[in-house]
């Protein structure tokens, strides 16, 4: 049987269909824009101090420059704060906004400091910088300014629930309420932290959906958190962020299925070991179960299914993997055909005891690969990110960079510098040549 309710989404449109029946959490605040920033530099020197700047100690040529300059208003938050020291080295930079100081990084031999993330919109900031000259004396400079207040806004949402457990194939999924044109800036505002080292990449599914997918399946039991530093990001001309988006979740036990429409068996790997080989019956001719590596979406016991000649029939222990209505489910009426012939309307029919076992183990994000079908899967008919090869995934990023994540956060790296590539094998990645199911 096949559920008649779920309809495929379309590339380039927001994932409202993906999430329409599922809980969406962690709403990001609005985003917006206005005038260009006033900017300049504060350069404390002997006898010439811009308003609001102070110095102490040395009157040598050691100079500190702060951008935005003191007294600036309508400052563009996406440009951040830059502090430079001439003929000296920076020793401290503190950017205060009434809560935790803004993070930043030193470069060029400790002579340049730049804020790590965009500034908050509509806020007063005070920057205090200290440098030490060659003579060992200290110079201090300050700058106070205000960032612009947005005039246009958008929201962002993530599917992942707080501290929920997901399968090893689960991507991070973020949906934006307006089309994003500054994709690279949005990607660079993302920070991913993982308890195990993970390499992945960001991918734009159209212009309103951003996903992070690992190069290989997540290691089981990995703890994952992410922050979208969207407050202050210009996501499109005239549209800025006004709040950040964050979430934490866990990858559960590895549960991977490969179901063959040709030999009529489903192989199940649990906790990285072959767990079972169950007879199945998949879609008959005309109702073929389509090839591709999908992810489980939701499960119900029972769910109501409709199709030619039947309507709202209760089906037990049903685990969904496409929006168009394909499930792995209990099918006591086809036990005699399971293992020998395909008689379903597109679902994967399993004996009741086996369906119950799989249902109890399944969580959203468990990989389900269909092989042997004469029909290719359709992009976005379910969570189809594993239709993509690693190269295709990178091409879908605005930066075309890989992301290396770990306990201390994530960094962007050139893919050519990676010491290892996509792993092979059912337990690590989608099946070889799976990309043929998706003409990208």
Q: Name the nearest CA neighbour of 256 among 237, 242, 243, 271.
A: 271
Element counts in the chain: helices (H) and strands (E): 4, 31
Q: What are phi and psi of 394, to 5 degrees?
A: -65, -40
Distance of CA 356 to CAs 164, 306, 316, 371, 374, Å? Answer: 22, 21, 8, 23, 29
Residue tagged active-site, from 53, 329, 345, 400:
329
Q: Does the annotation mark 38 as catalytic?
A: no
Q: Name the nearest CA neighbour of 65 among 157, 162, 139, 154.
A: 139
Handedness of CA 27, 28, 29, 33 (dihedral sign): negative
- Reading the block at residue 354, the tokens are 């086996």
Q: Taking the CB of residue 103, how many other CB atoms lie within 10 A of it? A: 10
Q: In the Cβ-directed half-sphere of 335, how many Cα atoms lie within 13 Å?
A: 8
* Helix, strand, coil % over all residues of the chain, rounded to 5: 10, 40, 50
Burial of 168-204, coded b for 16+ CB within 10 Å and e otherwise, reads bbbbbbbbbbbebebbebbbbbbbbbbbeebbbbbbb
Residue tagged active-site, from 28, 229, 345, 347:
347
Coil vs helix vs strand at 221: coil
Q: Does the annotation mark 347 as catalytic?
A: yes
Catalytic sites, residue numbers = 329, 347
């Amino acid at each position: 049987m096949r559920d008649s309710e779920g309809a495929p989404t379309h590339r380039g449109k927001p994932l409202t269909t993906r999430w329409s029946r599922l809980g969406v959490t962690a709403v990001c605040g609005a985003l917006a824009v206005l005038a260009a920033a006033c900017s300049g530099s504060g350069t404390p020197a002997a006898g010439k101090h811009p308003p609001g700047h102070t110095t102490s100690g040395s009157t040598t040529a050691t100079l500190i420059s702060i951008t935005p300059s003191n007294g600036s208003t309508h400052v563009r938050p996406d440009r951040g704060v830059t502090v430079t020291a001439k003929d000296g080295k920076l020793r401290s930079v503190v950017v205060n906004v009434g809560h935790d100081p803004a993070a930043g990084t030193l470069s060029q031999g400790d002579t340049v400091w730049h804020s790590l993330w965009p500034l908050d919109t509509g806020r007063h900031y005070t920057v205090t910088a200290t440098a030490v000259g060659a003579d060992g004396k200290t110079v201090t400079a300050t700058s106070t300014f205000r960032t612009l207040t947005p005039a246009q806004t958008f929201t962002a949402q993530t599917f992942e629930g707080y501290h929920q457990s997901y399968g090893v194939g689960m991507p991070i999924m973020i949906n934006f309420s307006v089309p994003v044109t500054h994709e690279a800036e949005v990607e660079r505002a993302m920070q991913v932290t993982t308890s195990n080292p993970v390499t992945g990449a960001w991918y734009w599914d159209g212009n309103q959906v951003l996903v992070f997918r690992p190069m290989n399946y997540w290691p089981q039991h990995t703890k994952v958190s992410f922050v979208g530093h969207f407050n202050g990001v210009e996501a499109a001309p005239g549209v800025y962020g006004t709040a950040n988006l964050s979430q934490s979740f866990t990858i559960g036990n590895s549960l991977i299925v490969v179901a063959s429409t040709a030999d009529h068996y489903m192989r199940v790997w649990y906790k990285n070991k072959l767990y079972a080989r169950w007879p199945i019956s998949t879609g008959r001719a005309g109702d073929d179960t389509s090839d591709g590596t999908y992810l489980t979406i939701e499960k119900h016991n029972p769910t109501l299914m409709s199709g030619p000649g039947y309507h709202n029939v209760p089906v037990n222990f049903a685990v969904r993997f496409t929006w168009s209505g394909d499930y792995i489910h209990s099918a006591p009426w086809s036990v005699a055909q399971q293992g020998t012939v395909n008689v379903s309307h597109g679902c994967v029919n399993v004996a009741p005891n086996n369906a119950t076992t799989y249902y109890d183990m399944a969580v959203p994000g468990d990989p389900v690969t269909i092989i042997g079908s004469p029909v290719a899967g359709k992009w976005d008919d379910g969570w189809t990110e594993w239709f993509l090869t690693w190269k295709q995934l990178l091409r879908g990023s605005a930066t075309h960079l890989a992301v290396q994540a770990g306990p201390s956060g994530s960094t962007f790296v050139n893919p050519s510098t990676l010491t290892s590539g996509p792993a092979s094998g059912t337990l690590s990645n989608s099946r070889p040549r799976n990309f043929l199911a998706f003409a990208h």
